[in-house]
Structures are given as structure tokens and as C-alpha cells.
Chains A and B, each alone.
Chain A
Amino acid sequence: MKNSLKLFVWSFALMALFFTTSFTYSVLTSDDGDKLIGVWEPSHGKAKVNITKVGNKYYGKIVWLKNPTYEDGSKKVDKNNPDSKMHSTPLLGYKILKDFEYVGNKTWENGTIYDPENGSTYNCVIKLKDSKTIEVRGYIGVSVIGRTDTWKRLSKD
């Protein structure tokens, strides 16, 4: 009888420990992932990108352009997109970062980055260097062949 009680208490304690650890881990990792949320500026300074979370993935949209119009005054559009039906879509509001998932260790993977200047989409990995800096690496095929750009967070004030 005593042994069964001991076994019950131990099982209960282990289960409680397991659930507490899993819950804490999931809360911590989710919070870490959300550190990507905010407005960021690529190194060229020609655009600002707002990164948000939808479901369990992260997305980035162009919310500001240094030169929003062409020389004739018309608004810049996605004229280099391989899909001609997107050619009249304005670059402002364009979703250039798609489908990023937080994988831990201040890294977001499995996403893509779109370069409106050549209409190409690249695989992409984002790493948080510090609270105000991310490294965005676009690549084709394997991560070794690619280019890394440093983006700065824009303060909310």
C-alpha cells in the first residue's frame, strides 16, 4: 500500500515537472521568436520592412520607400516579377519576407526573401545579432552560396 502511494506521488511529481518544463520551454521559445517583430531597415536604406507574425510564421512587408515613384511620377510597382499579372502591384505594401519559422537559437528559417530589383526569390535565414540588429542571408540552394545583409531595427519613438 505504502509502495503504491510512493509510486503514485513520484509519477505525479514527474508528470508535473514534465508539463511545467514543456510549458516554460514553449513560452520562452515563442517569446524569443517574437523578437523579430518590428520595423527594420536594410543596409541600403532604400526601404523599411515591417515584420509581423501570422499564426506561427513571420512575414515582412515594405511599409516605406525612400524613392516611392519613378522619374515620371508614377508609383513604383513590381515590374520585375516573373508573373506578369503582378506587374501593376505597388512595391509599397509588398510582402518580401514570407513563411519564416522560429527554430531557436535566435534564428528564423524556412522562409523566402523577394528582391523586387530583379524579381528573384531566394531562400533565406534570419539571425538576431542583438536586439537592434538582424542578419538576413539570402541564398540559392545551399546556404553557403548567398549574400548576407545587416538590417537595423527602427525605434518605436
Chain B
Amino acid sequence: MSFVRLSKTKTMKKIKIITLPILALLLLIGCTNYEPKVYGPVEFEIELEGPFFKDGVCEGITTIQFKPEDFGIERSEIFSMKMNEIVLETDAVDGFSTFENLVFSVMTDKTETKEVATIKIKKNSKKLVIKGLQEAEIEGFKDINKFYFEVTGITKKDSFDKIKLKGTIKMDIMIPDKK
């Protein structure tokens, strides 16, 4: 009986030794607050190509250099990135009415691809201001020097030219709150 009790105690001790640090670590991670630092605005130009038939998919990709130092952000402190805002302009005669919908993605060679914003075009205009999806958070952004910004559009009328867009993006770079 005493032997059983002894072994139970030893096992309990082992379990405690293993689980307590894990729990402490989880608690520490859970309690870490992150504050956003704005990166941008960064200008970009993009050309959308595709079949351009009605109900067609067209897309364009541009490479954007990621230099957090230019915006006073310490690279080593970066935890993740969220898209804050995308401003998009077009000189096309029909404005954005060519599109039914636009989806914006961020891709890198090292992180998970995420759709960072989406918009359903409701009225004709030549300028759009789109808020980023706050749920779309990309971790590991401190390890990258460039990323690919992709715009995918669903056209609702025929178009026979490439569609040129230009604009700016602002990103929220999440860093641990030191307070």
C-alpha cells in the first residue's frame, strides 16, 4: 500500500514538474497584450489581367518591400501583421463598376497566406477605401523582407483592356505592449 502511495506521489511530482511550466508559459502568452504600430501608407500600382469576360476572374500581383525600420518599428519586436486600410483608385472610364467584388491577399515565401480584405462593389466610384479584416492576422512577419500583395476581381461586364489600379496600404504591425 505504502509502495503504491509512494509511486503515486512520485508520478504526481513528475506530472507537476512537467505541467506547471507549460501552464505558466500559456498564462504568460495569454496575458501578453499587443499594440499596433502603423506601417505605411505604402504606395503601389497593379495591373489586373484575366479573361475579362462577364463573370470572369481577373487578378494582379505586386511585390512590396517590407522595411519596418523606415517606420520606426523594431523588426525583432514584430509579432504579427493585420491589414489596416487599403485605398484604391482607378482612371478607368467605368470606375470600379466593372467589378462585382474585390478580394485582397497577402502572400510571402515564409508565412501563411491570408485574405486581408474584401469588398462588394455597390456604387460606381473611382476611389475605394477598404478596411482590413481584423481577424486576418499573419504571424511571423518579422522574418520577411518583401511580400506579394494580390488583388482578385470578379468582373460583371466585359472588358478588353488590362485594368490599372493604384493606391496605398496601411498595415497594423502588432508588437508586445511593454506597459
A145 to chain B, nearest CB (A): 22
**Any chain B CB within 8 A of the CB of A90?**
yes
Among B57, B120, B135, B136: residue with most chain A CB under 10 A: B57
Indicate whether A55 sits within 8 Å of B109 (C-beta atoms), given known contacts A89-B118, A90-B154, A92-B154.
yes
- The distance in angstroms between the C-alpha atoms of A128 and B172, with both chains bound, is 40
Instruction: Say yes or no: B115 contacts A95, CB within 8 Å.
Output: yes
Instruction: Say yes or no: B154 contacts A54, CB within 8 Å.
Output: no
Instruction: Say yes or no: A54 contacts B100, CB within 8 Å.
Output: no
Which residues between 98 and 136 of chain B lie within 8 Å of chain A, taking CB atoms? 100-101, 103, 105, 107-109, 112-113, 115, 118, 120, 133, 135-136
Instruction: Say yes or no: A88 contacts B118, CB within 8 Å.
Output: yes
Which residues between 59 and 107 of chain A lie within 8 Å of chain B, taking CB atoms? 59, 61-63, 68, 75, 83, 85-86, 88-90, 92-95, 98-99
- The distance in angstroms between the C-alpha atoms of A61 and B58, with both chains bound, is 11
Instruction: Say yes or no: B57 contacts A55, CB within 8 Å.
Output: no
Instruction: Say yes or no: A89 contacts B101, CB within 8 Å.
Output: yes
Q: Which residues of B sit under 8 angstroms from A61, Cβ to Cβ?
A: 57, 59, 152
A56 to chain B, nearest CB (A): 5
Query: What band does the interface of chain A fall in when counting residues whose beta carbon is under 8 Å from B?
Result: 20 to 34
| Chain B residue with Cβ nearest A56 | B109
**Any chain A CB within 8 A of the CB of B79?**
no
Q: Which residues of A sit under 8 angstroms from B158, Cβ to Cβ?
A: none
Instruction: Say yes or no: A93 contacts B154, CB within 8 Å.
Output: yes
**Any chain B CB within 8 A of the CB of A57?**
yes
- The distance in angstroms between the C-alpha atoms of A66 and B150, with both chains bound, is 25
Indicate whether A55 sits within 8 Å of B108 (C-beta atoms), given known contacts A89-B101, A93-B154, A95-B113.
yes
Instruction: Say yes or no: B133 contacts A90, CB within 8 Å.
Output: no
Indicate whether A95 sits within 8 Å of B105 (C-beta atoms), given known contacts A63-B57, A86-B115, A90-B100.
yes
Given A56, A68, A93, which contacts B152 in the complex, CB threshold below 8 Å? A93
Q: Which residues of A sit under 8 angstroms from B105, Cβ to Cβ?
A: 95
Instruction: Say yes or no: B61 contacts A54, CB within 8 Å.
Output: yes
B82 to chain A, nearest CB (A): 13
Given B103, B107, B109, which contacts A93 in the complex, CB threshold below 8 Å? B103
| Chain B residue with Cβ nearest A69 | B55
**Any chain A CB within 8 A of the CB of B66?**
no
- The distance in angstroms between the C-alpha atoms of A83 and B118, with both chains bound, is 12
Instruction: Say yes or no: B135 contacts A55, CB within 8 Å.
Output: no
A81 to chain B, nearest CB (A): 9
Indicate whether A57 sits within 8 Å of B109 (C-beta atoms), given known contacts A86-B115, A89-B103, A93-B153.
yes
- The distance in angstroms between the C-alpha atoms of A90 and B150, with both chains bound, is 16
Indicate whether A83 sits within 8 Å of B135 (C-beta atoms), given known contacts A88-B120, A90-B101, A95-B115.
yes
Instruction: Say yes or no: A59 contacts B113, CB within 8 Å.
Output: yes
Q: List 18 A-B contacts (CB under 8 A).
A: A54-B148, A54-B150, A55-B108, A61-B59, A63-B57, A68-B55, A75-B100, A83-B133, A85-B118, A85-B135, A88-B101, A89-B118, A90-B101, A92-B154, A93-B154, A94-B103, A95-B113, A95-B115
